[in-house]
Amino acid sequence: MFVPFDSTMLLAILPEILLVVLAGVVLALDAAWQPEKRRWLGWLTVVGLAVAFILTATVSQPESEPRLLFGGMLRDDWLSFAFRLVFLFGAAITTLFAMDHEALGRKGEFYVLLLVSTLGMNLMASAGDLIMLYLAIETTSIPLYILAGFITTDDKSTEAGFKYLLFGAMTSAVMLYGFSLLYGFSGETNLYLLAGKLGELPMPALLGSLLLVLVGFSFKVSAVPFHFWAPDVYEGAPTPVAGFLSTASKAAGFAVLMRVLLAAFPAALPSWQGLIALLAVVTMTVGNLLALAQTNVKRLLAFSSIAHAGYILIGVVAVNAAGMNLGMASVVFYLIAYLLTNLAAFGAVATFGRVSGSDEMDAYKGLSRRSPALALVMLVAFLSLSGMPPFGGFIAKVFVFAAAVEANWIWLAVIGVLNSIIGLYYYLTLLKYVYLYRQDNLEEEQKPLPISRPYALALVLLVIGIILLGTAFNPWFEWSRTAAASLF
């Protein structure tokens, strides 16, 4: 439903307005403050994002019926509302992890780029038009290319930024060609007017356009075969940036994928269900099998991230008359649980790497004696990633597999369960280094591993969130169901 402009529409874009204002303030203070004061830019960014989160949650809630704003460019609904909160929270936690990072903490441009990328993700989640969608994707991606290669004195970081830019630009061009075909076939750019026109197309033309569009979305969520950038980029990028890439950026990709598939391609639902099911199987299997051989923790988390994209795709597949709401609700819930869990995992890696200077598994020997608290965070995060109770990752996988069974994709759920068993092996392998192995000729207790206040605050919030999602999950799932229902 299109609505004419009125003052209430400004409340609908309040998060975006606040992000622009905050970015401007950070940029101005970065120019005005002396270098020794610039560490406070991190706290300013955290407080600003917290205020934006609270105001969005309280005064920017959507109306009961979804509506198209600004000429159909944006859609104000519960799905965009839910993902905006996810992105704001993810950006705030990433800021806390960056504050004590030697190369990031005192750089105002880092926080500005992070805020601009978060702005783009917000627009991605609420885009109702192909033009707005493409601009939002580029607004998200370009700052992330820079952030991945932010440490110019580190060859691995420079390589990560260049690879991410190269592959991202290539897949973006293919996706843009798919968008141009959709416009050429239909004469429309609004996602909610495309379906009527595309339904009249021959199936080969419709599927051809869909395949080109899926190239860009598959890259954003690091699904096979467009996953090849993730291990090198995650390893080379600053660890807080890698965590943001693997969580908030992936969530934005899935938000767009769900909206576009259901809004523009309902006529091809059986065809894209089969395609996404194949993509899910290959993605989670390849991700898990390649993770088994990794000795670098960041590369292990990269392949783990690929595998989790496959699990989430199972929920996307589970869309039919019998269980469409459960399928999409499970995707939203999974993304929330995954954001908390993977940010905790990368946060623990960032905390350890800041002191030890290494991301290799061997360096984690005896960590439980050097820092019992950090070892506990890793235990919670990696058990949640593996799908063990009573953590959020377990409930998320239960909902996704239940949605597949309810939608009669039983074989897909079985493959998902088998892959989860494979994943459990390499997560427990890392925990074995943390709890069972010891460093040679080193008394670990004599070399404690300090955790700074920003890291401690972020990790405590994440661990509490993971446990809440795994125990008191019903309110969060009902919220996810409400968000998913606004898609239909």
- Of 243, 264, 285, the one marking the end of a domain is 264
- Of 238, 264, 290, the one marking the end of a domain is 264
Q: Tell me: do 359 and 260 sit in the same domain.
A: no
Label residue 6 by pLDDT band (50, 70, 90).
low
DSSP code of residue 245:
I
Q: Tell me: do 51 and 130 sit in the same domain.
A: yes
Distance of CA 24 to the CA centre of its chain: 25
The single-letter code of the amino acid at 381 is A
Q: What is the DSSP string of 83-134?
A: HHHHHHHHHHHHHHHHHT-TTTTT-HHHHHHHHHHHHHHHHHHHB-BHHHHH
Confidence check: pLDDT of 441 > 70: no
Q: Tell me: do 232 and 374 sit in the same domain.
A: no
Helix, strand, or coil (residue 2): strand
Q: Tell me: do 311 and 247 sit in the same domain.
A: no
Long-range own/partner contacts, residues 383-389 (CB < 8 A, 24 or more apart)? 383/427, 383/431, 384/337, 384/341, 384/344, 384/466, 384/470, 385/304, 385/308, 385/341, 385/342, 385/345, 385/423, 385/427, 386/420, 386/423, 386/424, 386/427, 386/428, 387/420, 387/423, 387/424, 388/424, 389/470
Q: Tell me: do 306 and 195 sit in the same domain.
A: no
| Size of the chain in residues | 488
- Of 223, 248, 264, the one marking the end of a domain is 264
Q: Tell me: do 82 and 152 sit in the same domain.
A: yes
Predicted local confidence at residue 263, as pLDDT: 82
Q: Tell me: do 286 and 258 sit in the same domain.
A: no
Using a pLDDT cut of 90, give the percent of the chain over it. 43
Q: What's the structural domain count of the chain? A: 2
Q: Tell me: do 131 and 151 sit in the same domain.
A: yes
Q: Tell me: do 446 and 432 sit in the same domain.
A: yes
CA 342, CA 285: separation in Å to the nearest integer?
19
Q: Tell me: do 280 and 136 sit in the same domain.
A: no
Q: What is the pLDDT of residues 45-81, one digit of tens each?
A: 999 999 999 999 888 887 777 888 888 888 888 888 9
Predicted local confidence at residue 49, as pLDDT: 94
Identify which has the larger pLDDT, 36 or 250.
250
Q: Tell me: do 138 and 14 sit in the same domain.
A: yes
Q: Which domain holds residue 187?
A: 1-264
Q: What is the pLDDT of residues 369-394, one digit of tens each?
A: 888 899 999 999 999 999 898 899 99
CA separation (Å) from 205 to 47, 108, 201, 265, 270? Answer: 49, 47, 7, 12, 15
Q: Tell me: do 247 and 332 sit in the same domain.
A: no
Which residues, 6+ apart, have CB-to-CB distance to 324 below 8 Å?
A: 318, 407, 488
Q: What is the pLDDT of residues 276-331, one digit of tens each?
A: 999 999 999 999 999 998 889 999 999 999 999 999 999 999 876 444 578 888 99
